[in-house]
């Protein structure tokens, strides 16, 4: 009997750690279900990719050619439009790559799954007649927000930033202050606003949206989406497939010193502070955090990155120089806290740190991967949003899920004070967190996340349904 050819799935993440990490995990799931997986990558390559490709020989990583585009050539206050422009310029390269995959592989492409930032690839897939799916790297609440964004856009004429505290009513979400909308759409006149509005318009054009979340984490927003409430003018609603939580299952190498240090700490005694792959705090803010940690008396593991060189440096992606800790932190801080704190430069193996038994709390910038990692490890959070859609995640984490304590609004106005850092760290690490039920809620969410991924669980069933549909489409 002739052996059946493996079908191919092509994945197209947008650049940026937070977008690539979960896409790679998605690829692993498809390999497990017997597909060929090809991941197309927009350069420059990340060191993380080298280690992932070494440990996943069954996934093919294909690097698109380098395009020279200066971040300064894209007129926006935010880093996203630079990414969108890069993705747009890669459209011919993408088409070329897909064509050569079709020609050289003996099977067809069952599905092309692009990051939601890569909406310009919709047309390429349509032209080549390949089933197109979006992969949404953040939660259902944010998906509901983007699906509803065109409706809000029609009904107001002012920038969200100017509307400030004004409440917006998005189906499936608690009321959202206008200022808590995703950062790049706060200014109606910034090119980022139109670009994301376009993306919102293209979301319903996909055959489906694959979401890195799970049913029992976000039932309200998922229901609002499937009931069509978020797209009042575009029935029927686009199918949403929740297959998460997909979290990073391998580190980027290194970081053994933090894990060894954690081994020597008592159970659940350490607060971990980490602000994502792009989060840069000012030198003033770093000093306030240091003083707050010092006064809190708690054990801590803190990832410190160099402050931005200029106010405008928010366009910069991941590369920053190593921080000079002695110059940045208050005199004597490192010596004074030597027996109960560890400061690491630039990077820690976050997923491994969060799953370490000594970690009892997480001060996070609310990036969606970080949130899911904390949920999967059952670690309660202090929500301190910085960029992208993180303010929205904060509202959701604090008000809807009640898995996080909010940092005071100082993050809105510039610098969060040492007193606020001290107060929130104490609250998170003290028995108060138990009394309020925070720890119990987080443990329940952890349990639910495991259940969703198990055989017969919600995410597992959704994945199998998708995979079977693709296999059937080939048989036919
Ligand atoms: N990360 C890490 N160590 C760090 C900073 C980040 O391992 O010092 C990982 C983190 O575990 C997560 C990803 O990088 O998997 C960041 O994704 P997230 O969505 O949280 O935030 P983003 O960096 O995209 O803002």
Sign of CA dihedral 15, 17, 22, 27: positive
Q: Report the nearest atom of ligand 1 relative to the CA of 366.
A: 20
Residue 414 or 148, more confident: 148
The CA 274 to ligand 1 mean position distance, Å, reads 8
Short-list 373, 148, 115, CA closest to 244: 373
Rounded to whole angstroms, how far apart are CA atoms 49 and 53? 6
Q: Is 132 exposed, middle or buried (0-12, 13-18, 19+ CB in 10 A)?
A: buried
- Average pLDDT score over residue span 415-419: 94
Distance between CA atoms of residues 401 and 374, nearest Å: 13
Q: 170 vs 279, which has greater pLDDT?
A: 170
**Which position has the higher pLDDT, 430 or 149?**
149
pLDDT tops 80 at residue 413: no
Residues above pLDDT 90, as percent of the chain: 80
Atom of ligand 1 nearest to the CA of 277: 23
Q: Relative to the CA of 22, which ligand 1 atom is closest?
A: 15
Best residue among 17, 257, 317, 319 to mutate for probing ligand 1's pocket (most ligand atoms within 8 Å of CB) is: 17
pLDDT of 105-118, one tens digit each? 877 899 999 999 99
- The DSSP symbol for 311 reads T
Query: Which amino acid residue places its CA nearest to atom 24 of ligand 1?
Result: 18
Q: Which of 276, 355, 385 to mutate to test the pocket of ligand 1 (most atoms within 8 A of CB)?
A: 276
Radius of gyration of the chain (CA): 22
Does the pLDDT at position 194 exceed 80?
yes
For tokens 């949206």, name the residue: 209
- Can you tell me the distance from the alpha carbon of 109 to that of 353, in angstroms, rounded to the nearest whole number? 38
Q: At how many degrees (to 10) do helices 438-453 and 368-377 cross?
A: 100
CA distance 186 to 181: 7
Residue 5: what pLDDT?
74
**Ligand 1 midpoint to CA 351 (Å):** 9
Residues with CB under 6 A from ligand 1: 16-18, 21, 248, 274, 276-278, 303, 347-351, 367-370, 373
pLDDT of amino acid 106: 75
Q: Mean pLDDT over all residues of the chain?
A: 92
Cα of 238 vs centre of ligand 1, distance in Å, is 29
d(CA 40, CA 341): 41
What pLDDT shows up at residue 17? 82
Q: How far apart are CA 237 and CA 246, in angstroms?
A: 24
Whether 317 has a pLDDT exceeding 60, the answer reads: no
% of residues, the chain, pLDDT over 70? 94
CA of 277 from ligand 1 middle (Å) equals 5
Q: Which residue is closest in CA terms to ligand 1's atom 13? A: 18
| Overall average pLDDT of the 411-434 stretch | 86
ipTM of the complex model? 0.99
- pLDDT tens, position by position, 94-106: 999 999 999 988 7
3-state secondary structure 416-451: CCHHHHHHHHHHHHCCHHHHCCHHHHHHHHHHHHHH
Q: Which of 347, 360, 144, 354 is nearest to 249 (CA)?
A: 354
Query: How far does the centroid of ligand 1 lie from the alpha carbon of residue 96, in Å?
Result: 31
Asked if 196 and 182 count as a contact pair (C-beta separation under 8 A), the reply is yes
What is the predicted pLDDT for the residue at 1? 47
* Residue ID of nearest Cα to ligand 1 atom 2: 350
CA of 123 to the centre of ligand 1 (A): 31
Write out pLDDT tens, residues 275-289. Answer: 998 888 999 999 999
Supply the pLDDT for residue 433.
66
Q: What is the pLDDT of residues 437-475, one digit of tens each?
A: 999 999 999 999 999 999 999 999 999 999 999 998 777
Confidence band, pLDDT 50/70/90 cuts, at residue 408: confident
Dmax (CA) of the chain: 74
What's the rounded Cα separation, in Å, for the pair 319 and 37?
Answer: 28
pLDDT grade for 212, boundaries at 50, 70 and 90: very high
Q: Choose the residue to mutate in 246, 367, 374 for probing ligand 1, maximizing ligand atoms within 8 Å of C-beta.
A: 367
How far apart (Å, rounded) are the C-alpha atoms in residues 255 and 259? 7
241-297 pLDDT tens trace? 999 999 988 655 667 899 999 999 999 999 999 999 888 899 999 999 999 999 999
What are φ and ψ of residue 16, in 5° steps? 115, 125
**276 C-alpha vs ligand 1 centroid, how far in Å?**
4
Check residue 57 and give its pLDDT. 87
Q: How far apart are CA 218 and CA 2, in angstroms?
A: 45
Question: Cα(400)–Cα(173) distance, rounded to whole angstroms?
Answer: 8
| Structure token pair of residue 45 | 């390559």
Count other C-beta atoms under 10 Å from residue 148's C-beta. Answer: 23
Predicted local distance difference test score (pLDDT) of residue 277 = 85
Q: Which of 135, 246, 343, 369 to mutate to test the pocket of ligand 1 (most atoms within 8 A of CB)?
A: 369
CA distance 383 to 399: 11
Neighbour tally for 201: CB within 10 Å: 16
Count of residues making up the chain: 476
* Band of pLDDT at residue 46, cut at 50, 70 and 90: confident
Residue 25 pLDDT level (bands cut at 50, 70, 90): very high
**What does the alpha-carbon distance between residue 33 and residue 464 come to, in Å, rounded to a whole number?**
8
Is 38's pLDDT higher than 70?
A: yes
Residues 6+ apart with CB under 8 A from 339: none
More confident residue, 328 or 254: 328
Q: Which atom of ligand 1 is nearest to the CA of 275?
A: 5
Checking if the pLDDT of 128 tops 70, the result is yes
């Amino acid at each position: 009997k002739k052996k059946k050819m493996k079908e191919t799935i092509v994945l197209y993440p947008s650049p940026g750690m937070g977008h690539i990490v979960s896409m790679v995990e998605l690829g692993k799931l498809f390999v497990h279900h017997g597909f060929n997986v090809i991941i197309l990558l927009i350069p420059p390559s990340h060191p993380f990719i080298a280690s992932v490709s070494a440990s996943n020989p069954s996934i093919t990583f294909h690097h698109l050619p380098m395009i020279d585009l200066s971040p300064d050539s894209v007129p926006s206050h935010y880093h996203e439009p630079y990414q969108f422009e890069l993705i747009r310029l890669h459209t011919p390269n993408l088409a070329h790559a897909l064509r050569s995959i079709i020609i050289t592989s003996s099977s067809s492409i069952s599905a092309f799954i692009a990051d939601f930032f890569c909406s310009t690839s919709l047309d390429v897939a349509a032209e080549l007649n390949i089933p197109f799916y979006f992969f949404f790297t953040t939660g259902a609440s944010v998906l509901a927000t983007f699906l509803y964004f065109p409706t809000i856009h029609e009904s107001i004429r002012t920038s969200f930033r100017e509307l400030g505290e004004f409440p917006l009513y998005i189906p499936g979400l608690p009321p959202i202050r206008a200022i808590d909308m995703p950062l790049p759409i706060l200014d109606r006149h910034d090119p980022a606003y139109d670009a994301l509005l376009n993306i919102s318009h293209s979301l319903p054009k996909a055959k489906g949206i694959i979401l890195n979340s799970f049913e029992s984490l976000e039932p309200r927003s998922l229901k609002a989406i499937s009931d069509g409430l978020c797209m009042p003018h575009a029935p029927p609603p686009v199918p949403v497939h929740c297959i998460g939580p997909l979290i990073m299952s391998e580190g980027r190498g290194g970081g053994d010193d933090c894990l060894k240090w954690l081994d020597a700490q008592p159970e659940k005694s350490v607060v971990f502070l980490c602000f994502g792959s792009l989060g840069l705090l000012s030198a003033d803010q770093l000093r306030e955090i240091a003083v707050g940690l010092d006064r809190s008396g708690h054990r801590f593991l803190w990832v410190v990155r160099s402050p931005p060189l200029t106010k405008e440096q928010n366009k910069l992606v991941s590369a920053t120089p190593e921080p000079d800790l002695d110059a940045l932190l208050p005199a004597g801080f490192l010596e004074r806290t030597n027996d109960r704190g560890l400061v690491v430069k630039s990077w820690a193996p976050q997923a491994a740190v969060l799953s370490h038994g000594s970690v009892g709390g997480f001060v996070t910038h609310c990036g969606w991967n970080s949130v899911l990692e904390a949920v999967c490890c059952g670690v309660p959070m202090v929500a301190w949003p910085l960029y992208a859609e993180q303010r929205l995640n904060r509202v959701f984490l604090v008000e809807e899920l009640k898995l996080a304590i909010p940092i005071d609004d100082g993050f809105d106005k510039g610098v969060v004070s040492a007193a606020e850092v001290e107060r929130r760290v104490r609250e998170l690490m003290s028995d108060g967190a138990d009394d309020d039920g925070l720890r119990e809620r987080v443990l329940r969410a952890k349990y639910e996340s495991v259940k969703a991924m198990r055989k017969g669980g919600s995410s597992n069933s959704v994945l199998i349904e998708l995979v079977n549909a693709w296999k059937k489409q080939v048989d036919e």
